[in-house]
Structure 1
Amino acid sequence: MKRTLAALTLAATAASALVTGIASAADPMVIKFSHVVAENTPKGVMANKFKELVAERMGDKVVVEVYPNSQLFGDDKVLEAMQLGDVQLAAPALSKFSRYTDQLALYDLPFLFQDLDAVDRFQQSDTGQAMMGSMQKKGLIGLGYLHNGMKQLSSSKPLRVPADASGLKFRIMSSEVLEAQFEAVDATPLKKPFSEVFTLLQTKAIDGQENTWSNIYSKKFFEVQPYITESNHGLLDYLVVTSAEFWKGLPDDLRGDLKAALDEAIAYGNDIARKKADEDRAAIIASKRSEVIELTPEERAQWVQAMKPVWKEFEDEIGADLIDAAYAANQQ
């Protein structure tokens, strides 16, 4: 009798485990997308669009969870977390990848691209696409470029020619290229967290900063900076990135569907970025809180002449062929 009961119990347990296993196998895969900005930014809009597209097309297979405003990780920790499997997608600024590859420092070079059209041409070229795979040996794969926009210079004094920046302190992201860029005009670059910039400007601990129109407007930098020089001297873009182990471990059909949804979401986000740049520039001018300085061709040429030697300084690290290919995108 005891043996019969034991056998029945064992059979019931096995059946229960089998049912649980089947239910577990039927559960959708969860993809955590971590980023550091608000949901109404181009990056935030793109992440939510990706979540919506996946829900529409793959709801029974995949669920995307979006964590904005550094709810999970900041840009300084998210790549490490990704390699540990704690998050599957992120979109840090291109400057944040210096520990993993020298190639992406290309995008920090001053006056390399004339406008976002040139950036698009290069990023969609075979060379630009190949750069996204430059971190595979470090366990990361780039899946797509996302725009924020071209950078402008804000300051406590008018900046028309490079000599006007001499002796001033500018906040920068952690980037050796950006450091060299400001040193080239005899200014002092200071690496500070983005979250501290408004207070540093307000208290005059720094004299200026470089950023896109959308960041200058959304973070209210224009309220504490009397001058903004429309320099378009650099690029602030992001790279949507994932773990090589995670991405390569997906079934081919699932990976293909996810990439298609992501490409569509990135295109949507890039559209938003362009519109937002124009709208936020107009809003700053309308506020009359900050004077927008438009450089003459002669003035801009002086900035280019002063900062262009930075290209040569980092040519060996980045690759002269990459720099030449990126610059050629301006002429197409």
Structure 2
Amino acid sequence: MCYCRMRDIAVDPTIITFVNKKNELAMKEKMHSLSVTVLVVMVLTIFFVGNAFSADKVIMRVATPTTNDPQTHEMDLFKKVVENKSQGRIEVQLFPSCQLGSNAQMLQGLQMGTIHGLLEPTAFLGGFSDILTLIDLPYFFEDVWTATALLNSRAGDKLREYLQNRGLVAAAFYPYGDRILLLKFPVNSMDDFKGKKVRVMGAKVLQNEIKAWGGAGIPMDVPELYTALQQGVIDGLESAAQFFFMLKYFQVAGYIFTEPKGAEVTVFLMNKKWLDNLPADLRDIVTNSAKEIVPEATQYARNTEKESMRKMVASGVKVMDASPELQQKLKNASTLVHETFLMENPDAKPIYERLKKAMEK
């Protein structure tokens, strides 16, 4: 191994000059490359930001967790109206059947802006805000038709304002169906609910509803329901007639109990930031189209509910209406559900009272 000391080495000045010039040239090349990179980034940024406002076509991604039901029908109606009114300037891309993730994942995508519109039952939105689930309170609305009419009117303004302050726009509310029970057992009194497990959507108010009646409200994902009902893991489920019929749950549960006749409502939520960035005329087309389809969406929900009930009865399902005495007992028990909700969600009180006053009128 050989060692040398720097002070013993003679360095030719021409070499130093050559090295300095080489370094200077390399530095100029790097600066030139950096300038080109910055220029490219600036051009691309201007291009994409500019296209958000002036592109020939705006893409709107709309999602829903279901398939072949009122929500997918509403998606189809909305797409048709928007694309027609915008004359091709907006392309609505539809993603039904949880194609963009679970309910929670789609809601997160909506908040982030990767999804621009989401059609979702309010009972699944407790993870975002429990206040939205006041719509699902038992015996709050007379039925789903009353609920959506009020929510789409001035009576729903406070709820819309609440959502806008959290970055979401409630473009419209659509009826899914009256909230009823499909059960494996008959109901003649409240005692019949004791020890029974009834699947509900995730809303805490629905869990508390079944608990107030003497049973247990069990949140459960849709793919598990048929087997769980068939094998007795659950004794019934709460939703609307269309849901029971289209997914054939009535084949393994023979009773429909027509309480609490509450509202299973779909809300069409949109990302506020995305909407605000649209040109004014396109923004109006998007929001107005969501409202414009309400009458047709309502009629479709009425027709499918009626037809679903007819076909289930024809197959042997027995429909049970509560006696006036039993219904009053169920309502009285449900009072605690309302009180608990308002205690846990004090911000919901002005929204609750506004809607309640509108119903009284």
Instruction: State whether TM-score is above 0.5.
Output: yes
Superposition deviation, residue 164 in structure 1:
0.9
**Aligned-partner residue type, residue 116 of structure 1:** V
Superposition deviation, residue 329 in structure 1:
4.3
Which residue matches 2:324? Answer: 297
Equivalent of residue 64 in structure 2, options 28, 35, 40: 35
**Residues 1-332 of structure 1 mapped to structure 2, 5 A cutoff:** 25-38=54-67, 40-288=68-316, 290-316=317-343, 317=345, 319-332=348-361
Which SS does the other structure have where 1:145 is aligned? strand
CA distance in 2, matches of 1:53, 1:324: 35
Superposition deviation, residue 197 in structure 1:
1.3
Contact 1:132 1:144 in 2 (8 A): no
CA distance in 2, matches of 1:121, 1:82: 25
CA distance in 2, matches of 1:48, 1:153: 28
Superposition deviation, residue 231 in structure 1:
1.4
Which SS does the other structure have where 1:314 is aligned? helix
**Aligned-partner residue type, residue 321 of structure 2:** E
Q: CA-to-partner distance for each residue in 1:214-243, whole Å, 9 max, x for gaps?
A: 111111111111211111442211110111
CA distance in 2, matches of 1:177, 1:232: 13
CA distance in 2, matches of 1:286, 1:202: 20
Distance 1:76 1:102, change over 3 A: closer
Aligned residues, how many? Answer: 315
Superposition deviation, residue 136 in structure 1:
2.9
**Aligned-partner residue type, residue 303 of structure 1:** L
CA distance in 2, matches of 1:133, 1:188: 34
Q: CA-to-partner distance for each residue in 1:44-70, whole Å, 9 max, x for gaps?
A: 111011111122121331110111111
Superposition deviation, residue 263 in structure 1:
1.3
Contact 2:181 2:258 in 1 (8 A): yes
CA distance in 2, matches of 1:183, 1:30: 45
CA distance in 1, matches of 2:290, 2:224: 31
Greater radius of gyration (CA): 2
TM-score where L is the length of structure 1: 0.87
Structure 1 unmatched ranges of 5 or more: 1-13
Superposition deviation, residue 26 in structure 1:
4.3
Greater share of residues in helix? 2
Q: CA-to-partner distance for each residue in 1:247-267, whole Å, 9 max, x for gaps?
A: 111222111111122212233
Which residue matches 1:8? Answer: none
- For the aligned residues, what is the CA RMSD? 2.5
Superposition deviation, residue 120 in structure 1:
3.3
Contact 2:83 2:89 in 1 (8 A): no
CA distance in 2, matches of 1:49, 1:121: 19
Superposition deviation, residue 119 in structure 1:
1.2
Contact 1:159 1:229 in 2 (8 A): yes
Structure 2 unmatched ranges of 5 or more: 1-39
TM-score where L is the length of structure 2: 0.80
Which SS does the other structure have where 1:133 is aligned? helix
Q: CA-to-partner distance for each residue in 1:44-102, whole Å, 9 max, x for gaps?
A: 11101111112212133111011111122221211211222221111111123223334
Which SS does the other structure have where 1:158 is aligned? coil
